[in-house]
Amino acid sequence: MIELPDSAALADALWSWKAAFVYGYFAWALYVHSRGRVRHKFHRQLTDHSTFVAPYNAIMYGFSSVPNAPFVDMARFPELAPLQENWRAIRAEALKLFDEGHIRAAASYNDLGFNSFFRRGWKRFYLKWYDAPLPSAMALCPRTVALVQSIPTINGAMFAMLPAGSDLGRHRDPFAGSLRYHLGLVTPNSDACRIVVDGEAYSWRDGEAVMFDETFIHWAENRGDVDRLILFADVERPLRSRFLNRLNHWVEKTIVRATQTENVPGERVGALNRLFGVAYYVRLPLKWVKARNKYVYYALKFLTLGLIAYAVFFTH
């Protein structure tokens, strides 16, 4: 049985250093929620992944040397020009991979970052992910890997396919230490195939590149009759501080690197993805509840958060 605290204990708890930490987190959550013109509903924002890393992301935004805008001018990234200059060679390797069935969904629950996309028909083939290139990529698309590796600011890269008639729902990525680059390889070349970032639309075209901030809410659709195939890359966000650059490198090489996964069995799978493979099955009862009544689902979620807060503040 939970014993409710008396008024003195409650007052002490509400003015403790623990409470100050929670208030600060709540303030950052509000900042992330209010950033941009398009927003999640507030109850969703409270449990969104971006909320948990909001303080770190706020630092990245504050010291960013490029504008904090949905889309960033490609002219600010001249080092990426070789990718666009060689887009036909990159496309040739991507098409060969696709024809041979290598661009596909994850074979198991070991791709935490993109797991929800697979239900929409989205497919991928990793070149690298915050580490050295994958052995399968070096063997199957060496020209593209060499181009990607020649650009030190690229942390991760893959080929990504969005089928004709498919879409990806509204979401935001949690990590602000990078920006997202897309290079059109095979597209409908029309406004029927587009990405919308914070309400601003961009339509993919063959051989054209775009850079955007994936921590704004965005969604994508392919209403064309051609499967969209792109080179997708995470590019390090330029910062106005050497110290923060070093800090960002450390976060990338320790935390983000833990989201690595495989193209083929036997390649390295990061710790977070191994944990996700177990957690997925633990979450199945909650997913069942959400499918039947989302209000009950969120009530259970907030009850759990409340119990955690009680344990933190009122137990010793």
Residue 10 pLDDT exceeds 60? no
| Angle formed at CA 150 by CA 147 and CA 154, multiple of 5 degrees | 90
Residue, of 171 and 27, whose pLDDT is higher: 171
Question: Locate tokens 């704004």: which residue?
Answer: 216
Residue, of 285 and 76, whose pLDDT is higher: 76
Is residue 135 in a domain? yes
74-102 tens-digit pLDDT: 999 999 999 999 999 999 999 999 999 99
In the chain, % of residues over pLDDT 70: 83
Is residue 278 in a domain? no
Which strands make up the sheet holding 166-171, listed edge to edge? Answer: 166-171, 218-222, 193-197, 200-203
- CATH number of the domain that residue 260 is part of: 2.60.120.330
Same domain assignment for residues 41 and 84: no
Residue 286 pLDDT exceeds 80? no
Whole-angstrom Cα distance, residue 42 to residue 126?
34
If you average pLDDT over residues 100-121, what whole number do you get?
Answer: 92
Same domain assignment for residues 30 and 77: no
Which of 56-60, 107-111, 276-280, 300-304 is least confident? Answer: 300-304
Whole-angstrom Cα distance, residue 10 to residue 65?
44
For residue 47, the model assigns a pLDDT of 61
Same domain assignment for residues 242 and 114: yes
Same domain assignment for residues 208 and 96: yes
Strand 154-162 and strand 209-212: the pairing is unpaired
Same domain assignment for residues 117 and 13: no
Question: Locate tokens 């290598």: which residue?
Answer: 102
C-beta of residue 197 within 8 angstroms of C-beta of residue 71 = yes
Is residue 110 in a domain? yes
For residue 52, the model assigns a pLDDT of 76
For residue 236, the model assigns a pLDDT of 97
C-alpha distances in angstroms, 279 versus 172, 261, 274, 283? 21, 16, 9, 6
Is residue 220 in a domain? yes
> Domain count of the chain?
2
Whole-angstrom Cα distance, residue 35 to residue 250?
26
Same domain assignment for residues 229 and 104: yes
pLDDT-based confidence at residue 46 (cuts at 50, 70, 90): low
Residue 233 pLDDT exceeds 70? yes
Nearest one of 154, 224, 219 to 183, comparing CA atoms: 154
Same domain assignment for residues 217 and 132: yes
Whole-angstrom Cα distance, residue 224 to residue 190?
8
In the chain, % of residues over pLDDT 90: 65
CB atoms within 10 A of CB 305: 12
What mean pLDDT is reported for the chain? 87
Whole-angstrom Cα distance, residue 137 to residue 221?
27
Question: Locate tokens 């390090």: which residue?
Answer: 236
Is residue 77 in a domain? yes
Whole-angstrom Cα distance, residue 168 to residue 223?
12
For residue 8, the model assigns a pLDDT of 57
pLDDT-based confidence at residue 304 (cuts at 50, 70, 90): low
pLDDT-based confidence at residue 137 (cuts at 50, 70, 90): very high
Which of 127-136, 189-198, 269-278 is least confident? Answer: 269-278
For residue 197, the model assigns a pLDDT of 98
Same domain assignment for residues 166 and 149: yes
Same domain assignment for residues 180 and 204: yes
Q: What is the pTM of this model?
A: 0.86
pLDDT-based confidence at residue 14 (cuts at 50, 70, 90): low
For residue 315, the model assigns a pLDDT of 52
Whole-angstrom Cα distance, residue 265 to residue 37?
42
Q: Which domain holds residue 43?
A: 7-64+293-314
Same domain assignment for residues 183 and 91: yes
Is residue 1 in a domain? no
Phi-psi region of 130 (alpha: psi -120 to 50; beta: other; left: phi over 0): left
Same domain assignment for residues 20 and 133: no
Is residue 283 in a domain? no
Same domain assignment for residues 260 and 308: no
Whole-angstrom Cα distance, residue 31 to residue 288?
32
Backbone Cα Rg of the chain: 21
Which strands make up the sheet holding 209-212, listed edge to edge? Answer: 71-72, 209-212, 178-186, 228-236, 154-162, 123-129
Which of 26-35, 44-53, 273-282 is least confident? Answer: 44-53
Residue, of 311 and 244, whose pLDDT is higher: 244
If you average pLDDT over residues 226-235, what whole number do you get?
Answer: 98
For residue 34, the model assigns a pLDDT of 80
Whole-angstrom Cα distance, residue 260 to residue 50?
19
Is residue 132 in a domain? yes
Whole-angstrom Cα distance, residue 258 to residue 21?
26
